[in-house]
Structure 1
Amino acid sequence: MAHSLAQRLAELLYKAVTGALLWLLCLLTSKSPVSGKKLPPVQQPLLLESATQLARKIRRKEVSSVEVVQAYIDRIQEVNPLINAMVQERFSLALQEAAQVDKLIEEETGGEDVLEDRLPLLGVPLSVKESFAVQGMAQTAGSVARRGRLAAVDAPAVALLKRAGAIPLGVTNVPEQCMWIESHNHLYGMTRNPYNLDRVAGGSSGGEGSILGSAGSVIGVGSDIGGSIRLPSFFCGIFGHKTTPGIVSNENQLPPFSGRQEELLSTGPMCRYAEDLLPMLKIMAGTNADKLSLNKKVDLKKLRFFTLPNCGEALYTSPVSEDLKQAQRKVVKWLEADLGVKVEEVNFPELKHSYDMWFISMSIPDHEGKAPESFENLLGEPGAPVWPLWELLKAVVGKSDHTMAAILYALLSKMVSPPLSALNIREKLHEDFAQLLGTDGVLLYPTFTRVAPKHHHALFIIYDLIYTAIFNVLGLPVTQCPLGLNEEGLPLGVQVVAGKLQDHLTIQTAIYLEKAFGGWRDPGAK
C-alpha cells in the first residue's frame, strides 16, 4: 500500500511538472521554420530499390556504386534541412569508397556469384545511429559534454556491414543518452518526422527512422532497450527488427550498458524494404547467425497466429487509438482469409505491470552485485553526476545543457521504485509466452498507443512505451511492420513477435505483410 501511494504521488508530481512546462515548450517551438512544410517526393528511381536489389545491380554493372551513393547524398541534402536526421556526414569518403567498389567490380574475375558470397552489400549506402562507433565520426549520444568526441574504431555491427561492402554515409540523431522516445538534444537539435514535420520521429534511433523514412537511406543500424528500434520505425513508416538478445554484438555504443541491461538490449537492422532484414541480420550477427534459422523456409500456413489487442488496464497508460486497433484487425482478417489460418485472440492480465517489469529489469545489479549506472551519472559523463532539480530550474530559464525530457526522466528514475513482486510477474510471463509461442507461434501486438505524437507531447505519455518495452524484458525477437497511413497521412503499424531465436518467423511474416499492405510509402507523395 505504501509503495502504491508513493508511486501515485510520484506520478502526480511528474504530471504536474510536465503540465506546467508543456505550454512553455509548445510556445517556444510553435514558430518552427519548417512547420507546415512537406518533404519533396522521391524523383530518383534508384532511391526506390531495396538494398538487395541495388547490390545485385551494382554487381552486374547495371548501375555504378558511385551513382547510387550520389543519389542518396543528393536526397539527404534535399531532405535533411527539413528533418534534421543526419548529424554528421562523410560524403566525400563515401564517394571515394564507391569508386573503389566500381574498380573492384571491373577487375573481379570470379563472377557475380563470388562477389555476392563475399560482399553481399557491395556498394550499398548505409546510415548509422550516432551512439554507435563509426571510425572518424562523432559518437556523443547527444551529450553536450561529449562534444567533439570521435570514434577511433567501428562498432562490431558496423564493421561487419562494412566488411560486407556497405558504405556509411553518416551518423544520425538520438535523444540525450538514448533514453527517450523523441530524438532531441542540445548538441544537434530536434529530429522531425518525414510524414509530418510537427511530429516526433521517435527514439532513441529516431534519426535512423527519419532518414530511412524520408528515403535518405536504404538500410541502417539501430539499437533497442525499450523500443528504440521499433518506435522510430513505427512512427516513420519503415521496418525495424529487435533481435533475440545476445545474437548481435552491442559493443562500442553509448551509453555503455551496466548491471544486467545487456539482457534487454538488442542491436538490429532498420530498413525501408522487408527483404533487406534477413541479409542484414545474417551479416550483423556474424558467427552467431548459426544460432538462428535464417535460411529456413517458412510456410506461413503452418504457423500458429495470435493477436493481443492491448496491455489491459495498465496504470497511467493511454488506450490504444481506434486507427491502430482497426489496422491490427485488418491484419487478422487478411491472415485468416488469405492463409486460411485461425488467429486466436489471447489475453495476459500481467501485462498491465509491464512498466514495473521493465524498470526493475533495468535496475538489476550484475552477477557481481554492481548496480547499473544511474541516469544522473550518465547525464553528467564524462564529468560529475547532475542534480536533476537544479537542472530543471536551469532548464526553465534556458540555461541547462540537458533537455527537459532527460531531466524529467532522471527525476522519475529517482522517485519511482517498482515492487520486487514485478520480478515474479516477469518470470511467470517468461513461461507463459514461451509456452504460447514455442517455435511456430507468431503474435500481433500494438507498437504504441497512437501514431507519432507532436513534438514534446511524449512527456505526457512516457508509460505508453510499455507496448515495446515488455519484449525487451521477455527477450523475444520482434519486427515492427508498417501498415499504410491513417487519414492524417501518418504511418500505422504493428509488432510481430515470436519465441526466442525464432527471428526468421517475424521477418518472414514482415515480408508477407509488406506484400499485403504495401510497406513503406513515399512521405512526399500526394
Structure 2
Amino acid sequence: MALTRLERAQAWILSACMGVLFALFRLLSPRRSRGLIKLLPVTNPLLMMSAMQLAQRIRRREVSSVEVVQAYIDRIQEVNPLLNAMVQDRFAAALLEAAQVDKLIEEETGGEDVLEDRLPLLGVPLTVKEAFALQGMPNTAGVVSRRGVLSVGDAPPVALLKRAGAIPLGVTNSSELCMWSESHNHLYGICNNPYDLERTPGGSSGGEGSMLGGGASVIGIGSDIGGSIRMPCFFNGVFGHKTTPGVISNDCQYPPASGRHEDYLSTGPMCRYAEDLLPMLRIMAGPNAHKLSLSVEVDLRNLRFFSIPHDGGSPLVSAVDEQLLQAQRRVVERLESDLGVKVREVRLSGLKYGFQIWDTYMGLPDKEGKRPTPFQVLMGEPGRPVWPVWELAKWMMGRSPHTMAAIGLALVEITSSSKPSPFILKQKEKLQKEVEELLGTDGVLLYPTHPHLAPKHHHPLFTPFNFAYTGVINVLGLPVTQCPLGLSVEGLPLGVQVVTGKLQDRLSLAMALYLEKTYGGWRDPGAA
C-alpha cells in the first residue's frame, strides 16, 4: 500500500523545511574547512586495551589506576580540541579517585579474585553522556536555558558502574534534547567525527561515540530511543548495545521519558572492544541482570541466521550505500564458511513503514492516557514553552538559542495529526508478529544500521527519516548490537546491526565477539 496523501504531504513539508533551513544555514555560517586535519595516532599502549584487560592489570598491580586515568586524560586533552566531544571534565577528582583505588589494591588481603568479583571495573576510566545525571556534572541535554543545572546524584546505571569501580572522567556532547541524529547544540557547540572532522559523529550519544572512536575513552554509557546509541557507534566505528527495554533503568536522564517513551527507550553500553559489552551490561542491569541469562554460553553454530539487506524501498528513506550492502554480504559469506550455518535472506514488507511506525508510536499516550511532553515545552524549560515559528524567525537573524534541527522538529510536531493511522497500527502489529516468530529464542538478524556512511555536518537535515533503520527496532522492543566491520574506501567506518529476540541480548553480544575477531573491530582513526 502506498503512502496516504496526508503522509506524503507531511513528508514533503518536513523535507522541504529542512532543506530550506539547511540552505540558509550554509549561507549564514562561516566556512571552515578541516578536511586536511587528522587526529594523531594512539601511541600509549594502555589506550589499546579493553576495560577488562585494564581492570585485570590494575588488580595485579602491573599498572596503576593513576597511570591509566592519566593516559586517558592526556589523550582527551590531545584530541578534544578537534572533536568537541567532552563538554565538562572532572580530571582532578578522577585522579584522586584513581589514587584511592591504588591504595585499596595495595591494602587488599583477599586476593585478585575477591576484587574481580566485588569491583570488576576497579580503576577503569568511564565517560558519560551529559543527558545522564553524574554527581556534580552538568545535566542540560544541550538546552541553553538549563545552563548551570548540575546533577545532585547519579543516574542508576551510572551509580552501578561507579560501584563496580569505574572512574568517570567527564560528560559528553549530544544533540539538543537528545532528539536528532547530529550532536549539535548552542550550549556546547557541534561535535566532530574522529575519522573525518567535517562529518557528524551521529546523535544523540554522539559525544560518547566520538570519544570512543577517537581513542579517548574505552567504555561509555548512552541512551537510545531511535538509534541514539547505534548510529553514533556506527559512524565512529565502535560497539554499542541497545538493551531489551525495561532491563536497565532509564531514571535520571534529561529529558525524562513521557507518554509511551519508556517502552522504547533503552540505556546501554558503548565500547571500543566487544569483550566489554557483556560485563558492562551485567553491571548496568543490576537486579534485572538475571533476566538476560548472560552466564549461559552461546554456540553460534546452534543459532539460526537471517539477513535483510534493506527496508524494501521506503520512499522516505535513502537507498543503502553499496559499500554497506557489500559488507553485509561478506558477513553472510563468512558466517556460512566459518560456522557451517545457512544464512537466509528474508523480506519483511512492514519495514518500509519504519519511520511512520516509529513516529506513530512515539506519539501515543501511556496506559493512563498521558501523552508525551511536547517538544516545544522541553525546549523552553525551566521557563515557558517556545513558539517554534518565532524561534525560526529569530534563528534567521542569528538570535535563537536553539538549533535548526530542534526548531524543525517543533514545527513538525505542531502540524502533525494526533490521530494515529489505522493502517500504520496494523502494519506494526503484523511486523511485530513476523519478527518475533522469525527470531524466537535462537534467531539472529543482520540489518543495516543506517543507509549512509557518516554524513557531512548538517546533511542529515536533507534526509531526516534515515534513522528509520534503527528507530523501528526500538518500537519492536528488540535488543540489538551495532558492530563495526572495518573501513570504507573513504576511510569511514562500516557496520551492521545484529538483532535478536526479546531478552536474548547475549546472542548479539556473542556475535559482536565473532565479528570483532573476523573484521578487526575498532580502527585507530589516526592510523587509518
Please give the TM-score of this superposition, normalised by the length of structure 2.
0.98
2:8 aligned residue: 8
Map 1:142-291; keep pairs closer than 5 Å.
142-291=142-291
SS of residue in 2 equivalent to 1:247: coil
Map 1:307-456; keep pairs closer than 5 Å.
307-417=307-417, 418-456=420-458
> Which residue identity is paired with 1:101?
V
- Separation of aligned partners in 2, 1:35 and 1:322: 24
1:120 aligned residue: 120
> Which residue identity is paired with 1:326?
Q
> Which residue identity is paired with 1:481?
C
- The answer to whether the Cα contact below 8 Å between 1:356 and 1:419 also exists between their aligned partners in 2 is no
- Separation of aligned partners in 2, 1:504 and 1:124: 23
Q: Which stretch shifts more, 60-69 or 287-296?
A: 287-296
Deviations 1:232-279 (A, max 9, x none): 000000000000000000000011111111000000000000000000
Map 1:41-52; keep pairs closer than 5 Å.
41-52=41-52
SS of residue in 2 equivalent to 1:200: coil
- Separation of aligned partners in 2, 1:334 and 1:3: 38
Please give the TM-score of this superposition, normalised by the length of structure 1.
0.98
Deviations 1:404-444 (A, max 9, x none): 01111111222333513322221221211111001110000
SS of residue in 1 equivalent to 2:198: strand
2:518 aligned residue: 516
> Which residue identity is paired with 1:496?
V
> Which residue identity is paired with 1:378?
L
- Separation of aligned partners in 2, 1:370 and 1:188: 32
Q: 1:484 aligns with which of 460, 479, 486?
A: 486
1:77 aligned residue: 77
- Separation of aligned partners in 2, 1:247 and 1:11: 34
SS of residue in 2 equivalent to 1:6: helix
> Which residue identity is paired with 2:446?
L
- Separation of aligned partners in 2, 1:203 and 1:217: 17
- The answer to whether the Cα contact below 8 Å between 2:72 and 2:217 also exists between their aligned partners in 1 is yes
> Which residue identity is paired with 2:523?
R
SS of residue in 1 equivalent to 2:67: helix
**Against the structure 1 CA distance between its residues 431 and 501, is the aligned structure 2 distance closer, same or farther, given a 3 Å change threshold?**
same
5+ residue gaps, structure 2: none
- Separation of aligned partners in 2, 1:179 and 1:315: 22
> Which residue identity is paired with 1:289?
A
> Which residue identity is paired with 2:305?
F
- The answer to whether the Cα contact below 8 Å between 2:15 and 2:463 also exists between their aligned partners in 1 is no
How many residues are paired up?
526
> Which residue identity is paired with 1:383?
G
- Separation of aligned partners in 2, 1:432 and 1:373: 32
User: Could you tell me how far 1:383 is from its partner in structure 2?
Assistant: 1.2
SS of residue in 1 equivalent to 2:54: helix
> Which residue identity is paired with 1:451?
L
User: Could you tell me how far 1:379 is from its partner in structure 2?
Assistant: 1.0
- Separation of aligned partners in 1, 2:9 and 2:431: 28
- Separation of aligned partners in 2, 1:298 and 1:420: 40
User: Could you tell me how far 1:29 is from its partner in structure 2?
Assistant: 4.7
SS of residue in 2 equivalent to 1:192: coil
- The answer to whether the Cα contact below 8 Å between 2:212 and 2:271 also exists between their aligned partners in 1 is yes
Deviations 1:143-164 (A, max 9, x none): 0010000000000000000000
- Separation of aligned partners in 1, 2:99 and 2:438: 51
User: Could you tell me how far 1:460 is from its partner in structure 2?
Assistant: 1.1
User: Could you tell me how far 1:5 is from its partner in structure 2?
Assistant: 2.2
SS of residue in 2 equivalent to 1:197: coil
Map 1:10-29; keep pairs closer than 5 Å.
10-29=10-29
- Separation of aligned partners in 2, 1:403 and 1:3: 30
User: Could you tell me how far 1:30 is from its partner in structure 2?
Assistant: 5.6
- Separation of aligned partners in 2, 1:14 and 1:368: 31
Deviations 1:111-135 (A, max 9, x none): 0000000000000000000000000
User: Could you tell me how far 1:318 is from its partner in structure 2?
Assistant: 0.6
- The answer to whether the Cα contact below 8 Å between 2:218 and 2:271 also exists between their aligned partners in 1 is yes
User: Could you tell me how far 1:216 is from its partner in structure 2?
Assistant: 0.6
- Separation of aligned partners in 2, 1:523 and 1:166: 25
User: Could you tell me how far 1:370 is from its partner in structure 2?
Assistant: 1.2
- Separation of aligned partners in 2, 1:11 and 1:287: 43
- Separation of aligned partners in 2, 1:185 and 1:82: 16
User: Could you tell me how far 1:23 is from its partner in structure 2?
Assistant: 2.7
User: Could you tell me how far 1:3 is from its partner in structure 2?
Assistant: 8.6
2:472 aligned residue: 470
- The answer to whether the Cα contact below 8 Å between 1:38 and 1:524 also exists between their aligned partners in 2 is yes
- The answer to whether the Cα contact below 8 Å between 2:176 and 2:403 also exists between their aligned partners in 1 is yes
- Separation of aligned partners in 1, 2:503 and 2:526: 37
- The answer to whether the Cα contact below 8 Å between 1:7 and 1:416 also exists between their aligned partners in 2 is no
- Separation of aligned partners in 2, 1:2 and 1:508: 39
- Separation of aligned partners in 2, 1:394 and 1:280: 44
User: Could you tell me how far 1:378 is from its partner in structure 2?
Assistant: 1.2
> Which residue identity is paired with 1:225?
I
- The answer to whether the Cα contact below 8 Å between 1:34 and 1:82 also exists between their aligned partners in 2 is no
1:502 aligned residue: 504
CA RMSD between the two structures? 1.3
> Which residue identity is paired with 2:52?
T
> Which residue identity is paired with 2:499?
V
- Separation of aligned partners in 2, 1:279 and 1:287: 14
SS of residue in 2 equivalent to 1:199: coil
- Separation of aligned partners in 2, 1:340 and 1:6: 48
- Separation of aligned partners in 2, 1:42 and 1:24: 38
User: Could you tell me how far 1:4 is from its partner in structure 2?
Assistant: 2.4
- The answer to whether the Cα contact below 8 Å between 2:83 and 2:192 also exists between their aligned partners in 1 is yes
- The answer to whether the Cα contact below 8 Å between 2:15 and 2:464 also exists between their aligned partners in 1 is no
> Which residue identity is paired with 1:121?
L
> Which residue identity is paired with 1:407?
I
